[in-house]
Every structure is written in C-alpha cells, then in structure tokens.
Structure 1
Amino acid sequence: MAFEPDDPVLERVSNRLMSQGVYFEAADQGDDRLEIEYRTISPGEGVPHQQIGQVINTFRDVIDEGWEPTTIEATVIDVEEDHRRGRWRMEEGWLRALEEGELSEVEFSEQVLDTLEEPRV
C-alpha cells in the first residue's frame, strides 16, 4: 500500500523522513489524533528509539508550516520482513507542555517511550 497524503504538511513530513529511513505507508487524521503507519529500514528488532525522536521532531519542525499539534499514534513495520515491530504514541498535551517549557525533553521522551509496545520475540 502506498502512502497517498491529502494533506500537504503530511506530505512534507513524509518526504523529510525518507532520508532518515522512515517510509510512511498510511495516515489517517481524525479530529483528535493522527494515526500513522511507517516502515523502518533500521536493522534489529523492535522500534528504534532514536527514530521515534526523529519522527516527532520532524512534526515539531512543521508546526510553523501549518501543522496543528495532535496526538500521534504510530505503528512501525519492518521494511524487509514485513512484520510489525511495535507501536508508540505521543499525546498532544505532552507536546504542548514541551513546547511551553512545562516538560523537559527528557520527561517528554520518557512519557513517549512509556507508551511503546513491542511484540515479544
């Protein structure tokens, strides 16, 4: 399934992440959340933690380009083996608190990583 965005901001995010080994497969934007599915080329099992940060920071970078912060729910799939590597979530409130200086980068990262669900190997 190819990613076919109908939102120019999502398309820019997708294009920027390709150079980091993240390939959007699907996106569904509702009133209170954005659900994304992406493939990773990173080796190993599970979800690459650094890549979670890259995805979130790319969305943070496009706030000035019209992206309205929302909750993001992500499913990560292995690019070669086609199996699910895990899921993670970033709550809109956490991002707003980070942007307003109410949460540190470390606290924010800990909250996101606490949502990480990876299949048992």
Structure 2
Amino acid sequence: MDDEDLRERLEQRLMSHGVYVTDLETDDGTLRIDYETATPGDGIPHREVGRVLNRLLALCDDGWDPTDVAGTVSDIDGNRLGTWRADGEWLVAHDRGELSDVDLSQRVLDTIEET
C-alpha cells in the first residue's frame, strides 16, 4: 500500500471524527502523519491519537505493513499542539496479539510531547 492510498483510506475514516490529515509520507522507514483536530481545547486529544492508530491497525488486513509512526497535531487554526509516536515493533506485537490494546495505548500516550 503506497502513501497516497494510505492517506486516502485514513482521510475517509477520520474526517467524520474531526481529524483532518494534512500531510502523510514515509520517510526513512517512518510514517509521518500531520493532522488537524477540530476538538477544542489545549493539548493533543488522546482519543484522536487512538482513532488514528486504530485506523492504521485496521489497514494491516488490507496490506499495510506496520512501521514506526510519528504524528504531529495542529488545531484548525494551524497552531501546533504537539507530537506523538508509535514504534513499529509495538504495532507488530499488537497485531500478533502479544500486546494488548491498553498496553499499546499507554505506550503511545507516554510519547506525547505537547507544545
């Protein structure tokens, strides 16, 4: 699955949740996703991080190979809220049933760096 196909599939599922993908590319083995959130407030909405991850994990069945993921989140005015990441090995372990939803979520939430 190439980046263009991946972006289209993510956009289709995330827009209804107020998550708007503004950029997506694979660079040096890391999938970099920039998106805007329509959720008001300060900081990165944790629920949306989960939605992005869940969409990616669902795409494993469609041919997406889990890799490192780096997310950059902005508000709808373009103000950067922060970043988060998910290691590819965590996603592979989750896909194999070796890492629970809760453990994966906690690992990713622990990486959040708010601006």
Give the TM-score of the pair, scaled to structure 2: 0.92
* CA deviation map 1:54-88 (0-9, x unaligned): 00001111111121111110100001x32111100
Deviation at 1:34, TM superposition (A): 0.5
Q: Partner residue of 1:60?
A: 57
Amino acid at match of 2:41: G
The 4+ residue runs of structure 1 with deviation greater than 4 A are none
Corresponding position: 1:39 with 2:36: yes
Percentage identity across aligned positions? Answer: 44
**Aligned residue number for residue 27 of structure 1:** 24
Structure 2: state its 5+ residue gaps.
none
1:90 maps to 2:86: yes
Match of 1:71 in 2: 68
Larger radius of gyration: 1
The alignment covers a number of residue pairs equal to 114
> CA deviation digits over 1:100-120, x for unaligned, max 9?
12212111111101110002x
Q: Give the CA RMSD over aligned residues.
A: 1.4
C-alpha change, 1:7 and 1:111, in structure 2 (3 Å) is same
Q: TM-score, normalised by structure 1?
A: 0.87
Contiguous gaps of at least 5 residues in structure 1: none
